[in-house]
Amino acid sequence: MEYLEAKEKFISTWGSLGTLWGINKAMAQIQALLFISTKPLSMEDIMEELKISRGNTSTNLRQLIDWGIVTKKIITGERKEYFTTEKDVQELARHIAKERSRREIQPVIKILKEISSIENDQTEKTKELIKQTKSLHDLAETADAMLHKIVNQEQNWITKSLLKLIK
């Protein structure tokens, strides 16, 4: 496989996997392009490489910056903005895990806590609702606490955490 074919395959595959992180395909493809780039890229570079519109590129770059995995890079003498991404795979995973917790898990925990705290009128259906939502709340809270513990480990946290689980 030649470089260009491998590059396109990587970007395409990473884009498809992006939906598993909770982000859209274009957003993941931009991050993938920046991830394998040897230098920061301008918005125009990204648009040209991925054949996507300025609006799509701009929106997704802003979201990637919000996720904390893409940063703006100032290049002296250049008027354009340039962008780069985290190159350390484990640090990248850490950023994604933190954001998924903040954006997805924490809001669900809050809602489940509200629901499981409703007034118990002692009817069977109310008892069941409280019981099941409390169980889900406890599970989500435990999973989130474990995720935070893993994410807050030192570098190589994935490797260390997996080794602890295996032992």
Tens of pLDDT, residue by residue over 4-47, are 899 999 999 988 888 777 678 999 999 999 999 999 999 999 99
Residue 49: pLDDT band with limits 50, 70, 90? very high
CA dihedral for 98, 99, 101, 102, sign (positive or negative): positive
Q: Closest Cα partner for 42 from 70, 69, 82? A: 82
Q: What is the pLDDT of residue 18?
A: 81
- Order of strands across the sheet that contains 82-85: 41-42, 82-85, 70-73
- Tokens 């509200």: give the residue: 114
Contact between residue 62 and residue 46 where contact means Cβ atoms under 8 Å apart: no
The predicted-structure confidence for 60-113, as pLDDT tens digits, reads as follows 999 999 888 899 998 888 889 999 998 888 788 788 788 888 888 899 999 999
Q: Specify the pLDDT at position 76.
A: 87
- How does residue 56 score in pLDDT terms, banded at 50, 70 and 90? very high
For residue 124, pLDDT beyond 60: yes
Is the dihedral angle over the CA atoms 32, 38, 42, 48 positive or is it negative? negative
Angstrom distance (rounded) from CA 15 to CA 19: 7
What is the distance between the terminal CA atoms of the chain, rounded to a whole angstrom? 39
d(CA 19, CA 31): 13
Q: Report the CATH number of the 3-85 domain.
A: 1.10.10.10
Q: pTM, whole model, 2 decimals?
A: 0.73
In this predicted structure, what is the pLDDT of residue 107?
93
CA dist 130 and 127 (Å) reads: 5
Whether the predicted pLDDT of 51 surpasses 70: yes
